[in-house]
Amino acid sequence: MRRSLPSALLVVAALLAPAAALVQPPSDGPDQTIAPDQRIALDEAVLARGHVDIGPRYVDGAWKLMVHDDTGEQSVWRNLDRTAFQVSDKALLTVPDNPAYAFIGKPGARVHVLPQVQNPEVTWVGWNTQDPEVMEVVDRGVTLTLTGVDGPGELFVYLQAGNFGAADVLWNSTKAERQDIWVDTNTHTHANWVFTTPGVYLVQVEAHAKLVDGKEARNTATLRFAVGDATDARSALSAAPRTPASATPSAASEKDSTGGSGPPWGVIALIAAVAVLAVLVVVVVVRGRAAKRQGTSG
């Protein structure tokens, strides 16, 4: 699926609450800017409150999916393999008796929600494409692809528009296929992250884009969530995904050297060798029969 995310959204403040929601814009707005010289923090971090964005950045010339951390006095970029998001029980909400939220679970179920509108008690997770070098070299936008979720329950990421329309589900871990979110450059967006069961979730995301020079940039990283007060964030930092970090096939396995689709060269060589052997066997048999006939006639 491919969805274009608008640069400004009115969102629901009380997501999943049975009562009517209060409509208001995100408090930080989409007009944030990121300085090109913001440092990269190399230490391990557990982020439990405050504003963070997932997004691509160039590090020493290499395209990399990272987290932009605004939770401290100074904003920094962090490596996702050294960062865990703690989702405390303060994020617990009840699934309402409303068909619009039937995709999450049964009415009355308790789920952990990192909301689209900031709750100061929990982490506010969004994404951005605002790294200055990314905006300079990317052609139009970036695709964020969900490639796998390891966890004790399900993950749903969705947008809720301010007009009380149906939830726009972006990622749904019950589906096996890769799921894409299209994000224009210089975009800053927040969504609802719903976890149905406490525990460690490893969410594998690929960021890929076409560049203005015709090349492509691609990187996959794992988002680590420790959901519930009883879940140790350190276990999320040390956990390894059960599935590969990248589900992207290599170009060599998809196309032959001419750029078209076709079987691998090893298979072609094997078929050719078998064909040659078969011809040699036929020649030997024919010659043997001819020699036998000559001997009989003599």
pTM value? 0.74
**Does the pLDDT of residue 250 top 80, yes or no?**
no
- What is the mean predicted confidence (pLDDT) over 250-266? 34
User: What tokens does 267 get?
Assistant: 């298979």
Q: Is the dihedral of CA 234, 112, 167, 103 positive or negative?
A: positive
**Does the pLDDT of residue 36 top 70, yes or no?**
yes
* Residue-level pLDDT at 97: 93
The Cα–Cα gap between 262 and 206 comes to 26
Backbone dihedral angles phi then psi of residue 101, each to the nearest 5 degrees: -115, 20
Which residues 6+ apart lie within 8 Å of 139 measured at CB? 209, 210, 211, 212
Pick 233 or 271 by higher pLDDT.
233
Report domain extents, the chain: 11-248, 249-298
Tell me the per-residue pLDDT of 126-158, one tens digit each, with 9 for 90 and over: 999 999 999 999 999 999 999 999 999 999 999
Tell me the per-residue pLDDT of 183-227, one tens digit each, with 9 for 90 and over: 999 999 999 999 999 999 999 999 999 999 999 999 999 999 999
Q: What is the mean pLDDT of the chain?
A: 80
The Cα–Cα gap between 80 and 224 comes to 8
Q: 276: part of which helix (H) or strand (E)?
A: helix 265-297
* Residue-level pLDDT at 257: 29
* pLDDT-based confidence at residue 166 (cuts at 50, 70, 90): confident
How many Cβ atoms sit within 10 Å of the Cβ of residue 280?
Answer: 9
* Residue-level pLDDT at 31: 64
The Cα–Cα gap between 21 and 16 comes to 9
